[in-house]
Homo-oligomer: A and B are copies of this chain.
Amino acid sequence: MKVKIKTALISVSDKSNLKSLIKNLSKYKIKIISSGGTYKKIRSYGYNCIDISEFTGLPELLSGRVKTLHPKIHSGILSDRRNKIHMGQLKKQNFEEIDLVVCNFYPFENILKTANKHKKILENIDIGGPTMVRGAAKNYKDVTVITSYKNYEDLFKELKLNNGSTSMMFRKHMSEKAFMTTASYDGAIFNYFKRLSKNKYPEKYITVSNKVEELRYGENPHQTAAIYSLKEGQKIEQLHGKKLSYNNYNDIFSSLLISKSLPKNQGTVIVKHANPCGVSISKDRIMSFKLALNCDPKSAFGGIVSCNFKINNKIAKEINKIYFEIIIANGFETKALKILKRRKNLRIIDSTKVKIEEFSNITTNFNNLLIQSSDLKNINLKDFRVVSKAKPSKKVMKNLIFAFNICRFVKSNAIVISRNFSTVGIGSGQASRVGSCEIAINKMKSQKAFKSLKDELYAASDAFFPFTDGIEKLVLSGVKAIVQPSGSINDKDIIKFANKMGIVLVFSKTRHFKH
């Protein structure tokens, strides 16, 4: 059903394209009601416009808090045009129909950015605007509602096509957008209050996020997918290559969590299927890359490399020898970028702007949300206790911390074997801990350089060893020091076993399951 627009109410905080809006509405001789800044602007363009106070007969009250909250406005918006009683009441009260509401609110996120005083923030919460928008959206059978200047062009097309009217489909679509706008506006306000009161898990959990892009598909081609952002400024900056896929994003996030946890400007992480398959830190950055690659070159094929340093010429050449899907770094030297760009499809990501910060981790299943705080706390020496007779040197302790930190990012059960701040064997995703030990050991032994290894080997486990079997396998493979969370009823036996074998055993207070 087409509805002719005769009267429009305009109240916009964002005045982009306002002139073009008024010009277009004037083509159809649409009467315009407005107030405050919008009114002044419209008059400055040389168009006619009725001030809202003149329209309602009531002066603007309470520093502008009460302008549109008037029955003449809301009866004009909310009346059912096919209801004779409604129409009779309008006539009796000398009210008139309002057919178009154009209204946008000052974005609450911007308020938070610019106003740091709570009082100022409160003042900026719009009451009249959302009421008009909600009313018009509810009554979309008769009323058109526009909540963003981005939809002005759509409105112009619609008016042109229908000679000053709008179609039901258009009005319904705009009504959906209107409720999206009011819901996200109040969602942002609620989340602000929630943050102030530190109410982490309120009765209702409301997330409002902005679409970054729709993805070609999800984990698999028969699944649809999209990526949204809860917060600005955490965007991945892609410099080159094919469009990022769902699995790309998933791998990128996994690898960034690890590389951002490593000492600055020296860490390389290689990720495949969201699990690390090689991690190394070294001030010699080429070595950092080479050692990360050495851990499991077979798995690295087609994987992701994430360096927490700037990539130069030399490293780029080294990287280009292998087929990777994605290269992430804290910047690229011009020459390096040129070299990497030779591979047409290679996705190149600059992660300089991505910051590691506390966030809530959400997963859904069966329409349930499991929410938890993230496991991003830095590994702390205070959480460790040496339980073996053999005592670790500072160097050994540092190596154990390196291995234990990587463990946090490997899917459980996780076993990491390292030497000289590089992983040499990673065992992941096994239901039994000894199974993960075997995988880590096999990976280590399959390395060409394995037999010539003369450095000490270290191992870390994400949770306690339930029996001595896993530790035994590690020690027999050459591991000299192990870190693990305590908590098993067999802890004593495990300490006894470590002492028998003469290795260093360190217990951590924190466990690091990841599923």
Contacts and interface: CB of A to CB of B under 8 A. Distances in A.
Contacts of A189: 179, 183
B222 A200 contact: no
Contact of A183 (B186, B225, B359): B186
Contacts of A78: 62, 65-66, 127
Nearest to A210: B204
A120 interface: no
A359 B370 contact: no
A347 to B, nearest CB: 16
A74 B184 CA distance: 23
Interface string A155-182: 0000000000000000011011101101
A223 B70 contact: no
A288 interface: no
Contacts of A224: 200-201, 372-373
B131 A432 contact: no
Contact of A61 (B75, B141, B179, B208): B75
A460 interface: no
Interface in A471-508: none
A206 B203 contact: no
Contacts of A179: 186, 189-190, 193
Contacts of A336: none
B275 A234 contact: no
B127 A220 contact: no
Interface in A334-376: 354, 356-357, 359-375
A130 B187 CA distance: 14
Interface string A112-139: 0000000000100101001100110010
A294 to B, nearest CB: 14
B299 A432 contact: yes
Interface stretch (A21-29, A34-42, A247-255, A389-397): A247-255
A273 B202 contact: no
A514 interface: yes
Given A210-B203, A363-B363, A219 B375 contact: yes
A377 interface: yes
**Chain B CB within 10 Å, residue with most, of A73, A180, A229, A374:** A180
Interface in A232-261: 234, 246-247, 249-250, 253-254, 256-257
Contacts of A50: none
B63 A220 contact: no
A211 interface: yes
Contacts of A277: 431
A89 interface: yes
Contacts of A211: 201-205
Nearest to A298: B432
Given A180-B203, A299-B431, A429-B429, A220 B412 contact: no
Contact of A369 (B138, B186, B209): B209
23 contacts: A61-B86, A63-B80, A69-B70, A179-B193, A180-B190, A183-B187, A187-B206, A201-B211, A205-B207, A206-B206, A218-B375, A220-B510, A220-B512, A223-B372, A223-B375, A227-B370, A227-B371, A228-B369, A277-B431, A359-B367, A360-B364, A362-B364, A363-B363
Closest 9 CB pairs of A and B: A429-B429, A218-B372, A299-B431, A183-B186, A253-B365, A272-B431, A225-B372, A176-B193, A201-B226
